Structure 1
Amino acid sequence: MTEKTPAELREQRARLIASTGLTETVLRERAEGFQLYPEHYDIWVTLEGIDMHLAELTEGEQSPELKEAQAQARGWEEKYFELVERYTPAAVQAAALREWLPVLRRAVESLPAKCPYHDDTTPHGVWREACCDTGIPARRRELAEKALVALGAEEAS
């Protein structure tokens, strides 16, 4: 395997972009819109690979202090969300649940109650979610109704 320096990778990347006759911005926009010719798509995939490799290389070049600071920041962020979740008053959580339960119920009621072709919506085997593809919304409605009943019972207690 040939090892290239980051400078060589950037040079190769620039040559690839130039070979398309497009700017990098236009190439990116067309790739996001799935509007590339096959040869340009191959170049785009190669560019993404080079970018990922460059990111890995520059990550390895980070100073130990920066890595430690990033790890510490992630730890503080996790601790913050844990504390917010732990100390959000139960009354606030219950009020939010009361506010959103009717909305969820209306959304669930918009799903069909049964399959248009079969009355049975139970899963068939481990590989099928419902009786057929058209029965999937009815099966999901059934499961969502059970979850809403459980949430309503939890709210009442």
Structure 2
Amino acid sequence: MTEKAPAELREQRARLIASTGLTETVLRERAEAFQLYPEHHDIWATVEGIDMHLAELAGDEQSTELKEARALAARWEEKYFEMVEKYTPFAVQASALREWLPVLRRAVESLPSKCRYHDDTTPHGTWREACCDTGIPARRRAIAEKALIALSETEEQNR
């Protein structure tokens, strides 16, 4: 991969946008509305990649105050989600589990219970998920059923 200076990246970005015949604003609006031609979508994806790379490069040049502020914001965000999780009433969590458990069971029951070709779906070797590609849904069903049983037991214990 060739390393480019930020100035070269900005120049490439401008050339890409100009090649579409659209302004950056119009290109962004159409991308957000999923109204781009495939070739324009590819260009927009490249422009977004360049923007992310430029942001990473700028991140190395950020002031220590900005870095500290971002770290503090990240810690506050973690604390917020921790508090929401901690203080969400258990009754709300339990009712959500009771509501969605039957839906999850029906979804799991829609998967085949065994492979079309093999009765045993255990993985062969360390690199295979199941007996064969056809056995993967059956293997995943078995794993999901174990998880659902564990969830059901947890719900019964908390009642």
Give the structure-1-normalised TM-score: 0.74
What SS is found at the alignment partner of 1:125?
A: coil
Q: Please give the alpha-carbon distance, in whole angstroms, between the structure 2 residues aligned to 1:2 and 1:36.
A: 25
Matched residues in 2 for 1:133 and 1:97: separation?
A: 32
Q: How is 1:2-151 mapped onto 2 (pairs within 5 angstroms)?
A: 4=5, 6=7, 9-18=9-18, 20=19, 22-23=21-22, 24=24, 25=27, 35-36=38-39, 47=47, 50-151=50-151
Alignment CA distance shift 1:47-1:102 (3 Å): closer
In 2 relative to 1, CA 5–136 (structure 1 residues): closer, same or farther, beyond 3 Å? closer
CA deviation digits over 1:109-136, x for unaligned, max 9? Answer: 1111111122111111111111111111
SS of the aligned residue for 2:38 comes to coil
User: Does structure 1 retain, via aligned residues, the 8 Å contact 2:6–2:54?
Assistant: no
Report the residue type matching 1:10 in the other structure. Answer: R
RMSD after superposition: 3.2
Q: Aligned partners of 2:139 and 2:3: how far apart in 1? A: 54
Distance 1:45 1:153 in 2: 46
Query: How far apart in 2 are the matches of 1:108 and 1:137?
Result: 10
How many residues align? The count is 148
Change (3 A) 1:34 1:112: farther
Larger of the two Rg values belongs to structure = 1
The CA distance in 1 between the partners of 2:71 and 2:83, in whole Å, is 18
Is 1:152 aligned to 2:158, yes or no?
no
Between 1:50-59 and 1:95-104, the stretch displaced more is 50-59
How far apart, in 2, do the equivalents of 1:45 and 1:108 lie?
36
TM-score, length basis structure 2: 0.73
